Amino acid sequence: MKATCKAHLFVLILITSFRAEAIAPEAVFGESGMVATRSALASQVGADILAKGGNAIDAAVATGFALAVTYPSAGNLAGGGFMVIRLADGTIIANDHRERAPLAATRNMYLDKDGNVVPELSTHSHLAVGVPGTVDGLLDVLEKYGTMSRREVLAPATLLARRGFPIDLDMARDLEAQLPRMSKYPASMAIFSHDGKPWKRGDVLRQKDLAATLERIRAKGRDGFYKGQTAELLVAEMQAGGGLIAQQDLDEYQSVWREPVTGTYRDHQIISMPPPSSGGVLLIQLLNMLEPYDLKAMGFGSADAVHHMVEAERRAYADRAEHLGDPDFFPVPITKLIDKNYALARFADFAPDKSSRSTDIRPGSFPAESPDTTHASFIDKAGNAVAYTTTLNLSYGSKIVASGTGMLLNNEMDDFSAKPDTPNAYGLLGREANAIQPRKRMLSSMTPTIVAKDGKVVLVTGSPGGSTIITTTLQVIVNVIDHGMDLSAAVASPRFHHQWQPDAIIFEKNGLSPDTVKVLNQRGHQGLTPWAYGRGIGDANSVMVLPEGFAGMADPRNPGAALAP
């Protein structure tokens, strides 16, 4: 089957007693680099940048700005994200442009007088908005490691916003579903509806206010967003709606360069995002717990393989609730959590024939991180690789457009722990490490990851999906390394997820055979539930290095494209 950017088929599963295999579109091949994203238009922007001689960093930045236009559900200017970079010379770096809590934020700001969490205050109100980081982060990355000018990389996004683009069926349906939430925000309805009625497939979405905001960034860089007209409009929106972001918050915001977390798994180097994302730490911890076991011999989709992975996930997510937060505010024990000996000790009570109970699993102790995020992967012909995950948190964030800017605002404040052991929108628990504090970055699950072997990049991957991001990334890596899958199968194969609390295994429809489900039930696993949200678990747009070039795969669960320059 010849792959094109339109070849997006749902996964078909052939089920046997202990194995499930995916039939998926063939991965795209290229000789001079590769881009894979959720948006075909944004992927084209990145591929064009590579074709013009830009490197993977230039392509990632240009694509990041384009996603704010073509994929407004998660692409953004007023959100945040994480970028992991491996340069061709082996240098590894990570840029943290996660949002921060405003200076006026307080620990109990989402609780009522009785100490109970007020529904939707941290997700659908002006108080839900964290200080945006995307623009500062992308510009910082471009300045340090890009080769093209700010005007060059921002030109495609600005043009797409100004001229518009035809809405496809996927976006039309998505926007129609959001209109009830947006209806009380006139600036949102002015863009994302057609005079109050849903946009239809084929209608052209033009975003003149967003184009003007992008043009100010092109002209003035950081000051075109965090100062001047855009900043004034954002602060005015906060004041009008009872939000907390003030000009001082914007003045103080800076992205942070961090050292990636690294580990090894079966002779491969794993390079991923450190806190305030929990993704990289948990990914390496999970791989450390699984490394002593022969997952390949167990077989993909078998009860044994699923049992081992679920038990590892149960323990890692318990540690997440206790130990993970913003390292600038809390002493996160990263070195201990990713230590192989700690993983062995953590898994010492594992029983190969019996499920644990999450109520019996406690976080490890020793001395003293939406379904509507989006991930993009990049590699250029020189071998520079970028894994980039960005988000507004929930789909279309807070649903609020800052009047006059065209920008949807995030609702990332929900990723803090509003109250100890109280689930957020993704059912994740948190404690003191992730309590609300001014200037603090909220914990994330984003897991942009690069896998290398023998000094060369093998795989660039990651995913959206809230709490399922980490387990999706884990499964893509295990599919490649343990099960020897090519990129197409590794990305398309069915997925499952466990996160300690609630004590349940969710799995994609037909993702586990009836025999596997039966065996897992016999071992005491509970809450085995088919995934009911959207088209499946995750959206792992990935690229892989082959002996003869590069493979790219847009996750077939959703529209998107992998494109070569």
Contacts of 348 (CB under 8 A, 6+ apart): none
Q: Which two tokens stand for residue 119?
A: 């529904």
**Pairwise CA distance, residues 474 & 472, whole Å:** 5
- Are 410 and 78 a contacting pair, CB within 8 Å? yes
The H or E element that residue 96 is part of is strand 92-97
Q: Give the sign of the dihedral formed by CA 531, CA 536, CA 539, CA 543.
A: positive
Q: Which two tokens stand for residue 226?
A: 């965090």
Q: Give the dihedral of Cα atoms 405, 410, 411, 412; nearest 10 deg.
A: -150
Cis bond upstream, residue 292 (ω within 30): no
Q: Residue 113 carries which DSSP code? A: T
**Pairwise CA distance, residues 490 & 483, whole Å:** 9
Q: Measured between alpha carbons, how far is residue 274 from residues 80, 328, 341, 376, 419 in Å? A: 15, 12, 20, 18, 24
SS3 percent helix, strand, coil of the chain, rounded to 5, is 35, 20, 45
Phi, psi (5° rounding) for residue 62? -60, -40
Q: Give DSSP secondary structure letters for 116-134.
A: PBPTTTTTSSGGGPPBP-H
**Pairwise CA distance, residues 531 & 505, whole Å:** 9
**Pairwise CA distance, residues 290 & 361, whole Å:** 18
Taking the mean position of all CA atoms in its chain, how far away is CA 218?
26
Choosing from 373, 391, 405, 447, the catalytic residue is 373
- Are 94 and 399 a contacting pair, CB within 8 Å? no
Q: Tell me if residue 373 is catalytic.
A: yes
List active site positions. 373
